[in-house]
Structure 1
Amino acid sequence: MATVEFPQIIERGCGLDVHRDTVVASIAGIGIQEETQTFSTFTTDLEQLIGWLQNHGVTHVAMESTGVYWKPVYYILEGYFELLVVNARHIKNVPGHKTDKKDSEWIVKLLLSGLLKSSFVPEVTVRFIRTLFRHRKKFINQRSRAKNRLQNILEDANIKLSSVVSDVFSKTGVAIIEQLLAGVADPWQLANQARGSLVRKKEELAKSLHGRFSEQHRFMLRMLMNSILDQNRSIEEVENKLDDLVRPFEQELELLQTIPGISRIAAVGIISEIGVDMDQFVSAKHLASWAGVCPGNNESAGKKMSSRVTQGNKYLKTILIEAAWASSHTLNTYLSFRYYSISKRRGKKKAAMAIGHDILNAAYHILRDKTPYREPRLRQDIIEQRRKSELERLERRIQKLKTLASN
């Protein structure tokens, strides 16, 4: 079987097969002999890699986006060469005996032929904003887990605070927990910490606070409260640092917040994932595909098999879905009407994904053109349909209340 030869587009290049401890580098091109060397991932060894590539006149370097291992290599080589970080699925080699050397040689072969497409890697400031924003999300998740464990401890002591208080960590809930930590066990004394509308529920609150709260429960409660306070401090520090870093992007943040459902923190999250330079993406459709919020296309023999969304950027996808839920509760906006229309036919989850797609599409054009969000003209039939459905819902509610009153 004849070997397929690709036309050469790049004069001299290097393919890197990156691992945790080693980097296998293969060079090829016009006027140099094909060669492969292995370098350690220590900084001094990567600097030797830079010198070796420069001595051979290499101008372009390509590597797979392997976990997090490509990042330090990219950061050290950045500024010396034209770097391409490529999706591993796009450079899959033909089946056969697989070695690190063959992988790097295949990468450089595709690179020289111009067949590789670089993934989006933001500039340094946006990279740091992205790191901080993702850590903020992790701190919030850790705090949520600690709060769930704390409520489990209260349930273990048969303290039914969550049955009466909608939020255990409201002012009333926190005050009661502090009293428990201080050694107060009398249910009525604990119930006296009630605030707001809970004052009218003191009797029910006192009943829910009558349990078997032991010293072991107090010990665990104190540990979990300390953990929650630590997470609160970490989140506050991260948010303060984010405020300092996003000051150069105040214009873009204000423009993004003109989209219904987009808060300031959501706007920061969007910029942390896609930056502010939309020239990095071919079109809004390309950005949506990269983010994983557009329908897939799996077709065989003329039959459509699936239209599930692709994996994409899970962090950006989460931000967009949260913004979609928020926009669905806005009044008389295109996004809320569109959410309502889709959810009736396809369900709420698919509607949220579709609205997330719309929000990202709007964000792309807003950041590209530096113009605020313009509300599309709402179709009158959608407005009438929403009004009719709302009236029907209220009528059903009235009938239900009448039935309960008669019983």
Structure 2
Amino acid sequence: MGKAKQNKKKKKAGVPAGSKKMERFGVLYPRSAGIDVGSMLMVVSYTDAQDLIHLAQFNGFTSSLYELAELLQREKVEIVTMESTGSYWMALHRILELHGMKVVMINPSHFRNVSAQKTDINDAQWLHKLLTHGLLRESHIAPACYQDLRHYIHEREIWQDQKSDTLNRIQNTLTKMNIKFQHLISDIEGVSGMMLLRMICSGISDPEKLLSCIDHKRLKASREDLLKSLEGDYRESLINILIQNLKAYDFFKEQMHSYELHIEQTLKVLAPGIISTKKQGMVRKNQYHINLKDYLLAILGVDLTAVEGLDEIGLLTILAVTGPDMSKWPTAGHFTSWLNLSPRPKITGGKLVGYEKRITHNPATQAFRLAANCLWQSKGPLGQQYRKLAATKGKAKAIKAVARKIAVIFYNMVLKQEAYDSSKVQQDVEVQKARKIARLQKEAQKLGLTLQNAA
């Protein structure tokens, strides 16, 4: 009888029996705003204190951005959303945060405007509406100090790339001069290689004199081969080109060292009280002159260099992007998904039809992938897993799978403040042995053979 009464009530209310009314989206953020960011035009849609929606336009000058922030502050707007469009959002993001508002940065690929007509006003209104109902997913933005660290690292990498290009031009010039010593030494950027380059640029062309400037006994090549490699066409034009390239090389090295000083100052802010010592001996190639391990240990709380594949430079890059607070990602799965290291299955009709391919330019992702790629000669458990996957699934899939595993280890170590335990990564030897025996028995049965244990 109770059920019949309920159905009668639904009929009177105009609702069919056995159904229910659709729940409408609730308003989670009544004091909110959406901004469409451009190079010279900012369109903002906001809700005022009387719950009325307004539209306003501002240009991209700094004074106008402060006017925009003050307007939203007067209207008691608490939360603002905007797209991460190029670098145009950075100045506005900082100004809005200084005015006490929470800024939700979103990836443009995470939402689509249902309207067929795309305009700046429509985009601002659509962003505002989605934020009001809590339908936007916030992107990870590191604190300001870590953003500064990331900028310094990025600029240093730019100078590093230009230095590498200059070295390639130097070797090309040596080839034109038919000088071959760069093929006989292990590294032209080493002590012997740079000494020979500087002697050639100073005007010395005699192979005997050039060879006397270095300790050739430490080189693998014989003295006769080295003398022959230093014979060439010492034309004035090619020497002049070599001089200019060497000056450029020295300049790029100096710029890299300058950014290292800025990086060290930023790390001292993040880890006050840490007295880091400089590295002993000669710093090779693109390594840092400062001892990063002390700072990383103080900021992260655990020694992550113990993990196979992770070095100081890679960890510094990851730290600049993620920061030390792993609680922003509820689980390790969320963290690896944000890094685009976990598979994204596409399911239709209840069947798996493939996996979504996404391209990311996240520096932390590249650091984890580089760490996995360095394991092809490692004798540890991660190196064994990499070689096994590379042999069966291919190198590309092996790099992504092992990079995901390293990211999970990084997440758990930083979150739980636990030291690295390789035994948790090491696969069970007995299980691997049982699988191999089962596979061999299956293959033997196909051939009509039987396996027997050795006596």
Q: Confirm whether residue 369 of structure 1 aligns to residue 416 of structure 2.
A: yes
Q: Confirm whether residue 259 of structure 1 aligns to residue 278 of structure 2.
A: no
- Whether the 8 Å CA contact 1:132–1:242 is kept in 2: the answer is yes
The CA deviation at 1:305 is: 4.6
The CA deviation at 1:13 is: 1.0
Q: Confirm whether residue 209 of structure 1 aligns to residue 237 of structure 2.
A: no
Cα RMSD (Å):
2.3
The CA deviation at 1:181 is: 0.3
Give the whole-Å Cα distance in 1 for the aligned partners of 2:433 and 2:148.
47
The code of the aligned residue for 2:94 comes to Y
Cα deviation per residue 1:98-137 (whole Å; 9 max; x = unaligned)? 1100110000000001001110001111111111122222
Give the unaligned 5+ runs of structure 2.
1-22, 272-295, 435-455
The residue number in structure 2 matching 1:307 is 355
Give the whole-Å Cα distance in 2 for the aligned partners of 1:154 and 1:323.
34
Q: Confirm whether residue 88 of structure 1 aligns to residue 108 of structure 2.
A: yes
SS at match of 1:246: helix
- Whether the 8 Å CA contact 2:30–2:51 is kept in 1: the answer is no
- Tell me the TM-score normalised to structure 1 length: 0.87
Q: 1:27 to 1:199 in 2, by over 3 A?
A: closer
- Whether the 8 Å CA contact 1:293–1:357 is kept in 2: the answer is yes
Task: Identify which of 170, 183, 195 aligns with 1:175.
Answer: 195
The CA deviation at 1:300 is: 4.1
Give the whole-Å Cα distance in 2 for the aligned partners of 1:179 and 1:232.
19
The residue number in structure 2 matching 1:390 is none
Alignment size in residue pairs:
381
Q: 1:344 to 1:253 in 2, by over 3 A?
A: farther
The CA deviation at 1:16 is: 0.3
The residue number in structure 2 matching 1:230 is 251
The residue number in structure 1 matching 2:398 is 351
- Whether the 8 Å CA contact 1:293–1:312 is kept in 2: the answer is no
Compare the two structures and name the one with the higher helix fraction.
Answer: 1
- Tell me the TM-score normalised to structure 2 length: 0.78
Q: 1:125 to 1:191 in 2, by over 3 A?
A: same
Please list, as runs of the form range in 1=range in 2, the aligned pairs for 1:7-406 lying within 5 A after superposition.
7-28=26-47, 31-79=50-98, 80-192=100-212, 193-198=214-219, 200-247=221-268, 248=271, 250-251=297-298, 252=300, 254-301=302-349, 304-307=352-355, 310-331=358-379, 333-375=380-422, 376=424, 377-380=426-429
Q: 1:258 to 1:163 in 2, by over 3 A?
A: closer
- Whether the 8 Å CA contact 1:133–1:269 is kept in 2: the answer is yes
Cα deviation per residue 1:30-84 (whole Å; 9 max; x = unaligned)? 7332211111222211111112112222111000010111111101111421110
SS at match of 2:141: coil
Give the whole-Å Cα distance in 1 for the aligned partners of 2:237 and 2:221.
32
SS at match of 2:126: helix
- Whether the 8 Å CA contact 2:302–2:414 is kept in 1: the answer is no
Q: 1:279 to 1:162 in 2, by over 3 A?
A: same
Give the whole-Å Cα distance in 1 for the aligned partners of 2:233 and 2:47.
74
The code of the aligned residue for 1:338 comes to Q
User: Percent identical across equivalent pairs?
Assistant: 25
Q: 1:21 to 1:76 in 2, by over 3 A?
A: same
- Whether the 8 Å CA contact 1:277–1:368 is kept in 2: the answer is yes
Give the whole-Å Cα distance in 1 for the aligned partners of 2:150 and 2:322.
9
Give the whole-Å Cα distance in 2 for the aligned partners of 1:309 and 1:244.
39
- Whether the 8 Å CA contact 1:29–1:112 is kept in 2: the answer is no
Larger mean Cα displacement after TM superposition, 305-314 or 104-113: 305-314
The CA deviation at 1:210 is: 1.8
- Whether the 8 Å CA contact 2:302–2:413 is kept in 1: the answer is no
- Whether the 8 Å CA contact 1:290–1:313 is kept in 2: the answer is no
Give the whole-Å Cα distance in 2 for the aligned partners of 1:186 and 1:383.
62
The CA deviation at 1:246 is: 2.5
The code of the aligned residue for 1:10 comes to Y
Give the whole-Å Cα distance in 1 for the aligned partners of 2:433 and 2:205.
57
- Whether the 8 Å CA contact 2:179–2:230 is kept in 1: the answer is yes
Larger mean Cα displacement after TM superposition, 349-358 or 248-257: 248-257
SS at match of 1:78: helix
Cα deviation per residue 1:208-255 (whole Å; 9 max; x = unaligned)? 222212111111111111111122122222223323323415331642
Give the whole-Å Cα distance in 2 for the aligned partners of 1:223 and 1:5.
69
Give the whole-Å Cα distance in 1 for the aligned partners of 2:170 and 2:114.
53
Give the whole-Å Cα distance in 1 for the aligned partners of 2:154 and 2:193.
29
Cα deviation per residue 1:183-231 (whole Å; 9 max; x = unaligned)? 1112333233353442652211222222212111111111111111122
Q: 1:348 to 1:122 in 2, by over 3 A?
A: same
SS at match of 1:257: helix
Larger mean Cα displacement after TM superposition, 248-257 or 64-73: 248-257
The code of the aligned residue for 1:21 comes to M
- Whether the 8 Å CA contact 1:16–1:104 is kept in 2: the answer is yes
Give the whole-Å Cα distance in 2 for the aligned partners of 1:158 and 1:381.
59
The code of the aligned residue for 1:242 comes to I
The CA deviation at 1:350 is: 2.5
The CA deviation at 1:382 is: 8.7
Q: Rg larger in 1 or in 2?
A: 2
Q: 1:302 to 1:196 in 2, by over 3 A?
A: farther
The code of the aligned residue for 1:34 comes to I
- Whether the 8 Å CA contact 1:290–1:312 is kept in 2: the answer is no
